[in-house]
Structure 1
């Protein structure tokens, strides 16, 4: 006897960091060539989806909820509409989103929430699409969305390109994340990046290095020199607080200091949990961040609670 699909479902979805992010020149379609390593980390948004004949409707609470749209502009509702159109189903649903992932912080919160919506609606509608099918749909919403469906570690190759899933061998990365008071627009950061000259000459070598790095099967301490973000320079020009934050991490004894995504969060690699607590306390004392949290990775992607 088969069970009926649930009337309500709750899911958690992690944030991400990019241990390496390499950017090439803009393409004819307006997107950039890009190669990046993904790692899902233990900082979670929670999404509850329930039936609502008057939906889609949405409520957002928690971290930065005042910065997040509660209507059709939100990627959660866009994801439900996309899957519904694919299946021929009307998204008569209510979404209750509780955020812990900061907004406009380079941690992928909006894309993560969209991935949770795809997975949750797939279950509620009993549509039985595979993870790969959901990832293909998710790529239409944003290039980070497919990663959150699988989590752990992967290599991304840009807009609508398939992810390269990476083997992981049990190594734990412990991070302290410090979020400046201001965020950055991804579009604006890329526009600033485009002012950099001759990037095409070095990008192919950088791409090759990212692809050949054993991200999931080597200790973090062995990969410190590989922790690089090509968007750090343009983001720092737009928001000098990032440079200050990265220097604070180094002074506090972080193994590495790295900007997340297109900014503005800064990630500091710790040796272990105790070292992370020390880093967090040292960084919090400066009083320049709106949030400082400890998270570790890699972790799995969207999970039903």
Structure 2
């Protein structure tokens, strides 16, 4: 018996993420880059409620600005539902009610979390009963961040970021994030990375095609030591993001001089994430940032991946 036969719908919650470490390899002939990244799922969640329908439809609300989120077949969550139906031969449809908390186009994987939640919700709703490995395979077809949103916790991602291995993380890490209402295009950021590397190839030297995660990152996570982690966090997209959005540099500098252990752009931005020592420091930094006119949110990680609630 599927959940649809017992309840009106299935609700799944999936987390946003911060790339604690992100190394970007050289541009490949297929136009892509290999990545080496360390994801941490954090306590900003997307809720997706799936109910039976004859068609595939979607509605989007949330505590963040959702005006730029598509409510048609270009939405990644709806694509996830349609992919699952195709793969399993399911002949019905679904209505997805998405309730967003992760900043839109902010480099925190909100759209990927929606897609992961949609896969889990529809699988339960339709009674298709795919294994976690099968769901991961479908997630990888939807985007590099979708498999991690399924998994949650802390993990190392390689190749396009979709090949995951668990990263042991002890304790809890506290972050203060500063979202920005003006989103950034991930492809535009990668184009800027490639342009800059091409123009400054002699000074930058050869970029590895297959980067790896710094061992110091994994050691800091295993130790549960925020100060150690602050010394080794890295984002190869950050310089390009700041060239496209120089206003974010001021936010980074302000946070880092106002009590943060370290700050970085989350993924391709424009969300800025500050690592702090404990909850007291997080609350202090959040108040300072808000007093300066910034939106600031205290989150923590790691948290679970997509699951039925």
Mapping of 1:1-305 within 5 angstroms? Answer: 3-6=1-4, 7-53=8-54, 55-62=55-62, 63-159=64-160, 161-169=162-170, 171-195=171-195, 196=197, 197-198=200-201, 201-203=206-208, 207=212, 209=214, 213-214=218-219, 216-218=221-223, 219-287=225-293, 289=294, 291-305=295-309
CA separation of 1:302 and 1:179: change in aligned 2, threshold 3 A: same
Instruction: Measure, in 2, the Cα distance between the counterparts of 1:215 and 1:133.
Output: 32
Structure 1 residue 202, shift from structure 2 partner: 4.7
**Residue 167 (structure 1) shift:** 2.3
Size of the aligned set, in residue pairs, is 299
Instruction: Tell me, yes or no, if the aligned pair for 1:81 and 1:91 is still in contact at 8 Å.
Output: no
The structure-2 alpha-carbon separation of the partners of 1:206 and 1:200, relative to structure 1 and needing over 3 Å to count, comes to farther
| Unaligned stretches of 5+ residues in structure 1 | none
Q: Distance in 2 between matches of 1:91 and 1:191?
A: 40
Q: Does the C-alpha gap of structure 1 residues 205 and 57 become closer, same or farther in structure 2, counting only changes over 3 Å?
A: closer
Question: Structure 1 residues 40, 161: closer, same or farther in 2, change over 3 A?
Answer: closer
Q: CA RMSD in A?
A: 1.9
Q: Which moved more, 1:138-147 or 1:194-203?
A: 194-203
TM-score norm. by structure 1 comes to 0.93
The answer to whether the 8 Å contact 1:80/1:91 transfers is no
Distance 1:205 1:159, change over 3 A: closer
Cα distance change, pair 294–89 in 1 and its aligned pair in 2 (3 A): same
Cα distance between partner residues in 2 of 1:206 and 1:76 = 30
Aligned-residue offset at 1:164: 1.2
Instruction: Report deviation, 1:286.
Output: 1.8
TM-aligned CA distance change 1:202 to 1:224, over 3 Å? farther
CA contact (8 A) 2:19 2:267 kept: yes
How many angstroms apart in 1 are the aligned matches of 2:134 and 2:210?
Answer: 32
Shift of 1:213: 2.8
Distance 1:21 1:42 in 2: 20
Runs of 4+ in structure 1 off by over 6 angstroms are none
TM-score by length of 2: 0.92
Mapped to 2, the partners of 1:273 and 1:192 lie a distance apart of 36
Work out the CA distance in 2 between the residues paired with 1:204 and 1:142. Answer: 20
Q: Secondary structure of 1:50's partner?
A: strand
